[in-house]
A and B are shown apart, each in its own frame.
Chain A
Amino acid sequence: MAGLAAGTAALAAPRVLAQAPPHVAVVGGGFAGASASRALKRQGTDIRVTLVESKARYAACPFSNAVLAGLRDLDAQYFGYDGMKRDGIDVVAASATAIDAEARRLRLDDGSDLAFDRLILAPGIDLMLDAIPGYGASGAEVMPHAWQAGEQTALLRRQLEAMDDGGLVVIAAPANPFRCPPGPYERASLVAHYLKAHKPRSKLLILDAKDSFSKQRLFEEAWEELYPGLIEWVSLSFGGRVTEVDAATKTLTTEFGSHQAAVANVIPPQRAGAIAAAAGVADRTGWCPIDPVTFESRLRPGIHVIGDAAIAGAMPKSAFSANAQAKACAAAVATLLAGGQPAAPKLINTCYSLAAPDYGISIAGVYEPREGLLAEVAGAGGVSPLDAPADVRASEAVYAEAWFDTITGEVFG
């Protein structure tokens, strides 16, 4: 009997195995991970998808600068996972604590294990709070980074509202690479918009750890036009890099001197979310090298890395990039699971920034795999024109908001 049963099982096994749908685990429910989960379900193949995300709601960073300026409710930044559940994605409210790439298993903080055929890691960024002496987790409660949206956004908004007219707002911007390259400058613009209307004697100082920034000429043109004399940008060469802070007095020290702020927004250096290092997919830079066709880790086969955590060559760390990468990665993973050879993708990024509520500017790029990285397609992409008429800026502001509505609908809706 036992022999017969075993024989039947042995005969049946290959058929059962062939029919069991492959399982892809996705870690991280931001723009990258949520997009990938959905895209996998929409490949048309039978793939079981588990999304591992500890938070019940995602707080989106794009447009959170408008929240800081009082132009938008923080509630409008939150998105849940009900849409994903409706799509048949198994959403597990837990954090991944360890990943065994060889055994293809994931350890969760509730003590359970999750086996996968392939893993898509989308952990976003980790803020290196201790990289700036004097800052740290307690410093962030006084001088918010607001670089992961949510409570930090609300805190910085409250501080701006409470500040007296004539106060100095300081934004400390990090060196490259970091999440949302134009973000600190959009933030400066929209905070200036708020100050100009409500606290016109105030000043805004950007202390920068670099000598140039995304859409720089466009931002500078907008600042000259909209907020003359309000925003001052101090580059690395002119002593912009913050070397130390004192949270008690809100003092930021640079190589050239120190600045006492009424409100200080310190955006610290970043690296891939902690699970990336734990999984062995982050290199010495703190970010994750990937194959530009499949997004598979160069360090651990079977694990794909997308979004801000990945070293995506010329692609900036943006929500648009994360979404585009997620869809390309999902297609590659589905092809690999079916035993196929993924074709080289082309990716697009479009990043809008608001210099004012009715003043939008953008940068766009098209990317393809070249020499092992995602490289820009020559002759394509670039930024909005300088000296454009107001109606062009106004329409880009409209497109910016339309983009946010569309992408959050596609990803979370």
Chain B
Amino acid sequence: MATTRHRRLMRGGLALLAALWAASPHAAQRAPLPAPAGATACSGCHAPAGNGPVPGLAGRPAAEIAAAMAAFRSGERPATVMDRIAKGFSDEEARAIAEWIAAGP
């Protein structure tokens, strides 16, 4: 319950922020949305195209990325490093990252 409310609050916050940015006179020059905490680190291993052994993330739906992070965190999905990394992010943080990636920055 609290989690859902939290999520909604955060989404509301992001929407408000986006509206503020859009309202700025320099909107055209501004980034669409700042990357949420942790999001920009992913591309250190995950190339956009992802042709190699590490899967690419571009074009994947947010729900899929968030679900993968949850499964890595719980240990349900085996991994070499993603299990260790996913434990550093809450559901809310993982979802924000997933939505940012899915939006194709």
The residues of A with any CB-CB pair to B shorter than 8 Å are: 39, 43-46, 320, 323-324, 327-328, 331, 334-335, 338, 343-348, 350, 362, 364-366, 368, 377, 379-382, 384, 392, 395-396, 398-399, 402-403, 405-407, 409-410
Contact = CB atoms under 8 A, between A and B. Distances in A.
B84 interface: yes
A39 B40 contact: yes
Contacts, number: 109
Contacts of A406: 43-47, 52, 54
A331 B52 contact: no
B11 interface: no
Nearest to A360: B80
B104 interface: no
A364 to B, nearest CB: 5
B12 to A, nearest CB: 16
B31 A45 contact: yes
A348 B34 contact: no
A410 B35 CA distance: 17
Interface of B: 29-32, 34-35, 37-38, 40-47, 52-54, 80-81, 84-89, 93
Interface class of chain B by DSSP: loop
B105 to A, nearest CB: 8
B80 A396 contact: yes
Contact of A324 (B31, B44, B53): B44
Contacts of B35: 327, 331
B85 A380 contact: yes
Contacts of B30: 44-45, 338
A324 B29 CA distance: 24
Contacts of B40: 39, 324, 327-328, 331
